[in-house]
Amino acid sequence: MKQLVVIGNGMAGVACVEQILKFRHDFQITIFGDETHVNYNRILLSSVLAGEKTADDIVLNDIDWYQANGIRARLGVRVENIDPSRCVVVDAEGAETSYDRLILATGSSAFIPPINGVDKKNVHVFRTLDDTRALLEKSRPGCKAVVLGGGLLGLEAARGLQVQGCDVTVVHLMETLMERQLDSLGGSYLRRKMETLGVRVMLGKQTQAFLGNGKVEGLQFSCGEQVEADLVIVAAGIRPNAELGRKAGVEVRRGIVVNDYMETSDPHILAVGECTEHNGQVFGLVAPLLEQGKVLAATVTGNRGPVFTGASPAAKLKIMGVDVFSAGNIEDREPSVECIRYEDPSLGIYKKLLIKDNRLHGVILVGDASDDHRYIEWLRANTDLTPHRRHLLFPPPAEDAGLDVAQMPDNETICGCMGVTKGDIIAAIHTYGVNTMGQLKDRTRASTGCGSCGNLCSRLLKAVAPDFEEDKQKVLCSCVPFTQERLRDMVRSQKLRSAQDVLDIYGNGKGCEICKPALSYIVDMVWCGDHEEDRSARFINDRVHANIQKDGTFSVVPRMRGGVTTPAELRKIADVAEKYNVPMVKVTGSQRIDLLGVKKADLPAIWDELGMPSGQAYTKGVRMVKTCVGSQFCRFGTQDSIAAGIDLERRLENLYTPHKFKMGVVGCPRNCAEATVKDLGMVGQEGNWQIVFGGAAGKGVRKADLLVTVETTEEALTACEIVFQYYRENANYLERTYDFVERLGIEKVRKETVYAPPEVRQALLDRLKKSKDKSYDAWMERVRPRPTQFVEIQPMEPVNA
Amino acid sequence: MKWIRITSTENIPEREGRALMLDSRSVALFNLGDRFVALENRCPHGGGPLADGIVGGATVTCPLHNWRVCLDSGAITKPCDVSSPAVQTYPVKVENGVILLGIDEASAAA
């Protein structure tokens, strides 16, 4: 058997080996990797940094893959030297491995500019899983992180650190972010978007020195300005790792020089990936490297023929949630190049096409890259654009194409901006009962880009939705025809303290079952409980603090914080159930006990005998905190979820919310109490808590979005309080968190809650505290009930006197 | 017509209803601010207790499935496409702070 040695266990090297395995070959393959990890997806390191993925999630080839394919993996072993005359590689321990063919896939390293003080503590690079872990250890909420470099990698690092709660500043030498992919206007769109997400951007800054005594404390720029820093990430570009090529005596310029067959100047040695230089070009994006791997595999297995023609010029990326696409030649100073631009500052969309000789020369898209396939095709085929001139920036409207909506195939794109097909829209109509344009936009994002497909969408809706309705302004109700946002403002500015006042001044004076509970909620929320309670405007459940059943009886669910109870409580519940002939006693999905079929008149006595507080299981309010056993008893628990859950429930109980509000706290990511499908959840991990918001497990199932990761339980509970009050103040009545978070977007919620300025966070907490101080256990109304609150009226004289 | 003394006006808060047990029938009694009204405490849809509904003007909405009933006539106003018979209403008057309900003699004897 011939020996094939691969130096480098990264994406390019292993992808190349995967291609080799597809050919018939007689190699014994050995892969050396200086990292101790199996091959992982380096592109996703920013997701690991952001806490969205774990190291395990980004593994591309696990250890079984190496074994199953008979590959000797030498992980954590660094190759120090190559002796091409004897065809051996020498590892760090001096051991030699001989090869018949050698593949150099050594990748690249972070370029560290020669700046004074670059060796100070807490100056990091962001290139490997180990770098990522080191950054995760040091990043914490409030930490001042400076990212040096406004290219792709720098912006990815900035995103991850920002999600970790760091106060992030990106410092860039050039005047434009990602100047290799974007022009200055495109860069400014990206910059604006990043700034709205709370990342500070400093352009045109030459860093002169890292300040600080041992540990980094800041950066000094040549213009004299300084910026503070607890943590610095150097992302100033990458350099090919060509050192081993030099030692092997092959031709090296910036990278290891390869020809179109991926061969170096030594016939036994080939190279692939970011360590290579081809036709004077070096590489940083993954797509061309996979292309190289295919060519190399053919060459090395005796199928020499396919050639590598250079990098495809296209780069499509998502940076901090913003689509960026760049392809072809973006230099626009040539006089023969025409420039076609489109800008939508509110939507943050920027498009620029460069046309030369009526053919596409280059393209930049920011904020909306859904049309990239058209441009890639035009570039590839060098298409004559004369017949497309009217529709260069957007696909032609369907009318122009002469298509009738009924004849369109389901996979035909209707909204090119948002990439929504006819099939998506029909699915939304059938699955979610969408029947207005507003709902369609909310559900599918169709027609929310340029809007040119609006007509087509509404024709499709009319044709398919069984009860299509023209859009009305989303007013609360015809009794008070204003949006809820306006109503909250009016209640505040006009100092209206009761639902009836709002109806008398802005409405028809009467109200109905739709607007009255909504107005009751709004006045209670706006005045933090210091409102005039009008019980007639509340639903019956909130008048008698129990849940009405189909036969007019009620159900009673006492509060059992965190789902924890005692023998004494259980005994009381049993006694009450027997004494009052409760027809059904049921354990609920919320880790509590429900007494069903109770008469209204019995409610106060039952509450009194239970001696437990109301579980608010009947109201649009704080329901419960479901907990798992956690570290108190569970072998796997990493956090005390029971204690944290009980604390959380105590902090928020007795408050009204726009819709019911369910919470969960779990002590480890196994998620036994399903915190990730609750309105608000705390997910314990070793050393920190993830706070998740907007989950659902009802008619639809939605995994909650990660809001923030924090270290201590106190920080976690405070983050919960902040986002809870934010939802109370900004959601419409009857809007669940999962609709709320989709309407606003999690980035906006993050920015206005846990990443808001300290005074904003404090104000939310202050208003929550005020509301909390005014709130009380509703079942205490048994002591001093309102007139005839629970009783049936008895006539003063008999009917048949 | 026979008038029966029911309860003090203070026992029924404004814009709210209360159930009243009159022999074997349940009657919903409402305080509309300027007058009191009474009707059978049973929604023709699913038998829901109308006395527990939300009052808007001179209508009440059943707490179970949001059918709306006109408090003066007993007619169903929502959903508007059902042809359900009206809910039975009862005459009400107030004397010296006490609500009186009128029932016809035949029904009282029954």
**Region A544-569 average pLDDT:** 96
Whether residues A218 and A342 share a domain: the answer is: no
CB contact under 8 A, B20 and A795: yes
pLDDT at B1: 87
In 3D space, the residue among A468, A459, A467, A465 whose CA is nearest the CA of residue A431 turns out to be: A465
The total of structural domains in chain B comes to: 1
* Chain A partners within 8 Å of B101 (Cβ): 795
pLDDT at A698: 82
In 3D space, the residue among A434, A744, A697 whose CA is nearest the CA of residue A589 turns out to be: A697
Confidence of residue A402 (pLDDT cuts 50, 70, 90): very low
pLDDT at B110: 47
Q: How far is CA A362 from CA A309, A333, A365, A372, A384, in A?
A: 19, 12, 10, 12, 14
Whether residues A637 and A767 share a domain: the answer is: yes
pLDDT at A523: 97
Whether residues A17 and A144 share a domain: the answer is: no
Burial (Cβ within 10 Å: 0-12, 13-18, ≥19) of residue A446: buried
Residue A764 sits in a domain whose CATH number is: 3.30.413.10
CB contact under 8 A, B21 and A508: no
CB atoms within 10 A of CB A555: 20
Confidence of residue A420 (pLDDT cuts 50, 70, 90): confident
DSSP symbols for chain B: -EEEEEEEGGGS-TT-EEEEEETTEEEEEEE-SS-EEEEES--TTT---GGGSEEETTEEE-TTT--EEETTT--EEESTT--PPPPPEE-EEEETTEEEEEE-HHHHH-
Query: Is residue A671 assigned to a domain?
Result: yes
For an interface test with B, the pick among A467, A790, A793, A800 (most B C-beta atoms closer than 10 Å) comes out as: A793
The total of structural domains in chain A comes to: 7
Rounded distance, CA A408 to CA A395, Å?
Answer: 15
**Region A197-223 average pLDDT:** 93
Whether residues A215 and A164 share a domain: the answer is: yes
Rounded distance, CA A165 to CA A743, Å?
Answer: 23
In 3D space, the residue among A151, A154, A178, A123 whose CA is nearest the CA of residue A49 turns out to be: A154
pLDDT at B84: 80
pLDDT at A193: 85
Rounded distance, CA A47 to CA A55, Å?
Answer: 10
Whether residues A661 and A768 share a domain: the answer is: yes
Residue B93 sits in a domain whose CATH number is: 2.102.10.10
Whether residues A285 and A339 share a domain: the answer is: no
- Higher model confidence: residue A208 or residue A412? A208
Rounded distance, CA A652 to CA A625, Å?
Answer: 10
pLDDT at A623: 97
With beta carbons less than 8 A apart as the criterion, state whether A388 and A206 touch: no
Residue A3 predicted with pLDDT over 90: yes
**Cβ contacts of A597 within 8 Å, gap of 6 or more:** A549, A551, A553, A555, A582, A583, A584
CB atoms within 10 A of CB A106: 28
Look at residues A567, A590, A618 and tell me which one is the last residue of a structural domain.
A618
Whether residues A104 and A253 share a domain: the answer is: yes
Closest CA–CA distance from residue B91 to any residue of chain A (Å): 15
Whether residues A638 and A777 share a domain: the answer is: yes
Question: What would the two tokens of residue A569 be?
Answer: 């409580």
Confidence of residue A452 (pLDDT cuts 50, 70, 90): low
pLDDT at A401: 40
CB atoms within 10 A of CB B33: 10
For an interface test with B, the pick among A467, A508, A540, A543 (most B C-beta atoms closer than 10 Å) comes out as: A540
pLDDT at B108: 55
Q: Which of A88-97, A247-256, A462-471 has the lowest mean pLDDT?
A: A462-471
Whether residues A137 and A219 share a domain: the answer is: yes
**Region B61-89 average pLDDT:** 88
Picking from A536, A540, A796, the nearest residue to B7 by CB comes out as A796
Residue A419 sits in a domain whose CATH number is: 1.10.10.1100
- Higher model confidence: residue B97 or residue A285? B97
Whether residues A664 and A776 share a domain: the answer is: yes
* Chain B partners within 8 Å of A797 (Cβ): 4-5
Interface contacts (A, B; CB < 8 Å): 99
Confidence of residue B80 (pLDDT cuts 50, 70, 90): low
Closest CA–CA distance from residue A372 to any residue of chain B (Å): 50
Residue B106 predicted with pLDDT over 80: no
With beta carbons less than 8 A apart as the criterion, state whether A761 and A641 touch: no
Residue A400 predicted with pLDDT over 50: no
Residue A324 predicted with pLDDT over 50: yes
Fill in the DSSP letter of residue A791: P
- Sign, CA dihedral A481-A487-A491-A497, equals positive
Residue A342 sits in a domain whose CATH number is: 3.30.390.30
Whether residues A691 and A754 share a domain: the answer is: yes
Residue A29 sits in a domain whose CATH number is: 3.50.50.60
Residue A315 predicted with pLDDT over 70: yes
Let me know how long chain A is.
801
Rounded distance, CA A776 to CA B59, Å?
Answer: 32
Query: Is residue A396 assigned to a domain?
Result: no
**Region A381-387 average pLDDT:** 84
Q: Is B102 on the interface with A (CB under 8 A)?
A: no
Domain enclosing residue B63, as ranges? 2-103
Largest CA distance in chain B: 42
**Region A8-37 average pLDDT:** 91
Q: Is B13 on the interface with A (CB under 8 A)?
A: yes
What are A708-726's pLDDT values in tens digits?
A: 999 999 999 999 999 999 9
- Higher model confidence: residue A646 or residue A306? A646
What are A622-631's pLDDT values in tens digits?
A: 999 999 999 9
Q: Is the previous residue joined to A397 through a cis bond, with omega within 30 degrees of 0? A: no
With beta carbons less than 8 A apart as the criterion, state whether A646 and A633 touch: no
Q: How far is CA A219 from CA A146, A169, A206, A210, A222, in A?
A: 9, 11, 10, 5, 10
pLDDT at A472: 55
Query: Is residue B108 assigned to a domain?
Result: no
Domain enclosing residue A635, as ranges? 620-784
Confidence of residue A263 (pLDDT cuts 50, 70, 90): very high
Rounded distance, CA A501 to CA A534, Å?
Answer: 10
* Chain A partners within 8 Å of B66 (Cβ): 513
**Cβ contacts of A12 within 8 Å, gap of 6 or more:** A105, A107, A272, A273, A274, A286, A289, A290, A292, A293
What are B13-41's pLDDT values in tens digits?
A: 999 999 999 888 899 999 999 999 999 99
Rounded distance, CA A125 to CA A69, Å?
Answer: 34
Beta bridge pairs of residue B38: B29, B90
With both helix axes pointing from N to C terminus, report the angle between A713-730 and A758-774 in degrees, rounded to the nearest 10.
Answer: 80
Which one-letter amino acid corresponds to residue A129? Answer: L
Query: Is residue A801 assigned to a domain?
Result: no
Average pLDDT, chain A: 90
**Region A200-221 average pLDDT:** 94
Query: Is residue B36 assigned to a domain?
Result: yes
Query: Is residue B97 assigned to a domain?
Result: yes
pLDDT at A407: 66
Rounded distance, CA A324 to CA A316, Å?
Answer: 6
Query: Is residue A289 assigned to a domain?
Result: yes
Query: Is residue B99 assigned to a domain?
Result: yes
3-state secondary structure of A732: coil
Residue B109 predicted with pLDDT over 70: no
Residue of B nearest to A550 (CA): B64
Whether residues A636 and A762 share a domain: the answer is: yes
Query: Is residue B9 assigned to a domain?
Result: yes
Q: How far is CA A425 from CA A176, A420, A507, A760, in A?
A: 39, 7, 36, 39
The backbone torsions φ and ψ at residue A656, rounded to the nearest 5 degrees and listed phi first, read -85, 150
